[in-house]
Amino acid sequence: MPARAALRTPMTEPTLTVAVIDPSRARAAILEEGLTAAGFTRVVVLPDTPDLQARVAALNPDVVVIHLESPSRDILEQMSGLSRHVERPVAMFVDRSDVPMMQAAMDAGISAYVVDGLQPQRIRSILDVAILRFNAFARLQRELVEARGELADRKLIERAKGILMSAKGLPEEEAYRLMRRKAMNEKRKIADIARAIVTAAELLG
């Protein structure tokens, strides 16, 4: 799945859409009021229903805020799936927790996990941190994917060079120049030329 563009933080973009999820309607209303007071102009409360992922995806919020009393591992797994599905930071506020549960939250990809910390004056800074942490993790993932792709391309080019050297009796540098010249003439990546050479060799071999 392609990486999404970095999200703007609340301090630089006050019109972010915030999705609120809380099994308690009364608490959700309080949380909505606190977010509005903190300067967020678009706060949408979503019911905790079986189609929650679809609802969040349809809303496409910039950040998801969840408030629970004491999350179970099942709930954390559900929230992990939500975070992966919508590719958005998730800030979770809980009333009670313990160290294993906090670790499980981090493993589930929750961007911010705050125990007994649902205070209106802290919401803005907590969401800033959640988005920044999400952006940093997304950037690392993107760099890792790119690095793996570059390594795979290098291996492919080396293999194609070996095929040309063996088939045409060329030195290594000449085999590489031949692939590079063909890539330039066809306006393609050299890795694509290498892949075609390897594929042809496998078919003929």
- The per-residue pLDDT for range 126-146, each reduced to its tens digit, is 777 777 877 787 788 788 888
CATH class of the domain whose range is 17-142: alpha beta
Q: Which residues of the chain have pLDDT under 50?
A: 1-5, 11-12
Give CA angle at 105 (100, 106), nearest 5°: 100
Nearest to 10 by CA among 61, 53, 73: 61
Q: Where in the chain are the domains?
A: 17-142, 144-204
Mean per-residue pLDDT of the chain: 79
Three-state secondary structure call for residue 173: helix
Interhelix angle 99-107/73-86, rounded to 10 degrees, is 20
Contact 59, 19 (CB under 8 A): yes
Nearest to 111 by CA among 84, 81, 134: 134
Query: What pLDDT was estimated at residue 56?
Result: 83
Dihedral of the CA atoms 16, 22, 27, 30 (nearest 10)?
10
Query: What pLDDT was estimated at residue 154?
Result: 93
H or E element, residue 21? strand 17-21
Query: What pLDDT was estimated at residue 25?
Result: 83
Query: What pLDDT was estimated at residue 94?
Result: 79
Going by the DSSP 8-state scheme, the letter that residue 117 receives in this structure is -
For 144-204, the fitting CATH number among 1.10.287.3510, 1.10.10.10, 3.60.21.10, 3.40.30.10 is: 1.10.10.10
Ordered strands of the 17-21 beta sheet: 42-46, 17-21, 63-68, 90-94, 112-115
**Residue 93 is encoded by which pair of tokens?**
């506020």
